[in-house]
């Protein structure tokens, strides 16, 4: 689908997280095999944007990828819906009970 997050995976460590700016955006945490275990976002309430969000996640997963966007909440929800459509469930570390209900993606034509 066109809404995939296709950025390269980077090792999730303090050095890589510190290099990120204070930008708003979305991120995925993954395992070494590329399995997405968490989808999150750095929004207006994130003190130092993606940098602080990912520094807080060091040790939770082995890798991460980010996308800088001001439409972080919409993009976050898109990524959650896409993951659920493909896998039948949200990533294992995302709480299914949190936030508003997600919509459903229609199949590509």
Full-model pTM: 0.90
Residues 33/27, Cβ–Cβ less than 8 Å: no
Say if residue 109's pLDDT is above 80: no
pLDDT class of 53 with cuts at 50, 70, 90: very high
Say if residue 99's pLDDT is above 70: no
Domains and CATH numbers, the chain: 10-72 (3.40.1440.10)
For residue 43, the model assigns a pLDDT of 95
Task: Compute the Cα dihedral for 46, 51, 52, 57 and give only its sign.
Answer: positive
Number of alpha carbons in the 13 Å side-chain half-sphere of residue 16: 15
Paired tokens of 18: 């510190």
Average pLDDT over the chain reads: 91
Q: What is the pLDDT of residues 15-40, one digit of tens each?
A: 999 999 899 999 999 999 989 999 99
What is the rounded average pLDDT of the residues 84-94?
92
Say if residue 42's pLDDT is above 50: yes
- Backbone φ and ψ for 96, nearest 5 degrees, come out as -65, -25
């Amino acid at each position: 689908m066109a809404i995939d997050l296709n950025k390269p995976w980077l090792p999730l460590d303090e050095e890589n997280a510190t290099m990120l700016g204070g930008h708003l955006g979305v991120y995925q945490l993954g395992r070494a095999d590329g399995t997405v275990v968490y989808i999150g976002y750095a929004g207006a309430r994130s003190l130092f944007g993606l940098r602080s969000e990912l520094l807080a996640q060091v040790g939770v997963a082995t890798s991460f990828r980010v996308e800088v966007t001001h439409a972080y909440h919409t993009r976050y929800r898109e990524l959650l819906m896409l993951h659920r459509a493909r896998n039948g469930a949200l990533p294992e570390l995302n709480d299914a009970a949190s936030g508003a209900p997600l919509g459903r993606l229609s199949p590509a034509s």
